[in-house]
């Protein structure tokens, strides 16, 4: 009687070991679109569909890698209608542009230059990978809102 019990136990251990050693275990089937789950410190969770996420930003995650000196100078950017214009960022925080209300002020927030124009429009110049883009925000909106347009931007002159 002891030998059959030993054999059954040995087979059970081998079967369990073989199941655990499977390099490609079957995961639960994917039902529905891909989503991201955020778990907060207090334990509650929120899920968002990835199709609804435009970008993920980590604010204050570390020191900014781009300072004011990086953005100083003259930039060429799209106007959102197929044309271009020039933005000049001065060391004293003043900004000027070649169209519309020509005066504004600027500062660096995180890794982007934020410009507030006298007519209420505001632009952000952001480094996206190895290029730059200009995000234009209408009066009455914030830099967290959806931009009115996004165009390429390139630095044409360093410190004015």
Query: Which of 31, 55, 58, 35 is CA-nearest to residue 47?
Result: 35
Using 50, 70 and 90 to split pLDDT, how confident is the model at 117? very high
pLDDT of residue 65: 73
- 4 domain residue, yes or no: no
Scored b (16 or more CB within 10 A) or e, 105-138 reads bbebeeebbbbbbeeebbbbbbbeeeebbbbbbe
More confident call, 128 vs 19 = 128
pLDDT of residue 125: 97
H or E stretch including 2? helix 2-20
**111 and 126 Cβ atoms separated by less than 8 Å:** yes
- 99 domain residue, yes or no: yes
CA dihedral 3, 7, 9, 11 (to 10 degrees): 180
Range 3-32 average pLDDT = 64
Range 131-149 average pLDDT = 94
CA dihedral 60, 132, 92, 79 (to 10 degrees): -120
- 45 domain residue, yes or no: no
What CATH number has the domain bearing residue 88?
2.40.128
- 31 domain residue, yes or no: no
- 10 domain residue, yes or no: no
**110 and 64 Cβ atoms separated by less than 8 Å:** yes
Domain count, the chain: 1
**100 and 121 Cβ atoms separated by less than 8 Å:** yes
Using 50, 70 and 90 to split pLDDT, how confident is the model at 35? confident
- 109 domain residue, yes or no: yes
143: alpha, beta or left? (left if phi > 0; alpha if psi -120 to 50): alpha
More confident call, 19 vs 135 = 135
- 55 domain residue, yes or no: no
pLDDT of residue 95: 96
Instruction: Give residue-wise pLDDT tens across range 50-97.
Output: 888 776 765 655 555 788 889 999 999 999 999 999 999 999 999 999
- 127 domain residue, yes or no: yes
**75 and 97 Cβ atoms separated by less than 8 Å:** no
Q: What is the pTM of this model?
A: 0.59
Instruction: Give the pair of three-digit tokens for residue 118.
Output: 């006298």
Instruction: Give the pair of three-digit tokens for residue 30.
Output: 């994917």
Domain that residue 91 falls in: 68-157
């Amino acid at each position: 009687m002891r030998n059959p019990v030993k054999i059954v136990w040995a087979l059970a251990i081998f079967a369990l070991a073989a199941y655990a050693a499977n390099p490609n275990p079957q995961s639960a089937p994917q039902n529905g679109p891909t989503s991201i789950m955020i778990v907060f410190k207090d334990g509650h969770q929120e899920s968002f569909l990835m199709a609804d996420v435009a970008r993920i930003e980590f604010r204050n995650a570390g020191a900014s890698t781009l300072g004011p000196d990086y953005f100083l100078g003259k930039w060429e950017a799209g106007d959102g209608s197929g044309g271009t214009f020039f933005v000049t960022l001065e060391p004293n925080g003043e900004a000027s542009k070649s169209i519309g209300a020509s005066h504004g002020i600027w500062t660096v927030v995180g890794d982007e230059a934020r410009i507030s124009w006298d007519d209420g429009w505001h632009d952000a110049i952001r480094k996206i990978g190895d290029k730059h883009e200009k995000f234009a925000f209408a009066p009455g909106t914030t830099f967290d809102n959806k931009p009115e347009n996004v165009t390429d931007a390139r630095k044409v002159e360093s410190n004015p």
